[in-house]
A and B are shown apart, each in its own frame.
Chain A
């Protein structure tokens, strides 16, 4: 069975704090892809990152960083020095073939 778990339903932090969104996945496949999407108040799903199962290098993009660990089946997302504009729902997802399997999402509130 394939599954993505985002245990944090909702998180609130004060602006400029760092925050980590957790993601744990389950799959029996050896080849798969992991994604993070952001859903701002406007509603669309915005692609943030794609990582394949053979590449465990962590990635940093500006204030965003991702920590992929196959040993714990986790793909956590950290926002450094958070800003109010980071407030959104964030979805972690697993893709095998053409289907994307999403977690339930974490609603992030950045308080000014």
Chain B
């Protein structure tokens, strides 16, 4: 069974450009999460999808970030326009069930560098 996969693994873009990150969850997992880690800081929650609906997007930093999950399968996270402080590692996770007592499976992350 394939795990959570993220594309690309690395992305280097210039300030002001647009970048789209993709996450393919484990097949059948309705719950999909985005997290990010900026340099030297904690991994922080961005948002949570249940199927195609946004369950909680309280961690999204600002309106330059747009997450979608059309059809309830893969998800994209678009940053437009990118700023220097957006650099970091973006993780995606999925789980079969929601709630605290559920193991979330993480992808390998996308390292985004904005120059």
Residues 76-112 of chain A, each 1 if its beta carbon lies under 8 Å from chain B, else 0? 0000000000000001000111111111110000000
Q: A43-B109, A44-B108, A98-B33 are in contact. Are A52 and B101 (CB under 8 A)?
A: yes
In the bound complex, do residue B100 and residue A32 qualify as a contact, i.e. CB atoms below 8 Å apart? Answer: yes
**Interfacial chain A residues near B99, Cβ < 8 Å:** 97-98
Q: How large is the interface on A (under 10, 10 to 19, 20 to 34, 35 or more residues)?
A: 20 to 34
What distance in Å separates the Cβ of B93 from its nearest Cβ neighbour in chain A?
8
In the bound complex, do residue B56 and residue A102 qualify as a contact, i.e. CB atoms below 8 Å apart? Answer: no
**Interfacial chain B residues near A102, Cβ < 8 Å:** 35, 42-44
Main secondary structure on A side of the interface with B = strand
Q: How far is the CA of A99 from the CA of B31 in the complex (A)?
A: 12
In the bound complex, do residue A42 and residue B108 qualify as a contact, i.e. CB atoms below 8 Å apart? Answer: yes
Q: A103-B42, A104-B40 are in contact. Are A33 and B106 (CB under 8 A)?
A: no
Seen from chain A, the residues whose Cβ lies within 8 Å of a Cβ on chain B are 4, 31-33, 37, 42-47, 50, 52, 91, 95-105
Q: A96-B100, A102-B44 are in contact. List 20 more A-B contacts (CB 8 A).
A: A31-B100, A33-B100, A43-B108, A43-B109, A44-B3, A44-B106, A46-B106, A47-B103, A91-B43, A98-B100, A99-B45, A99-B56, A100-B45, A100-B93, A100-B104, A101-B42, A102-B35, A104-B42, A105-B42, A105-B43
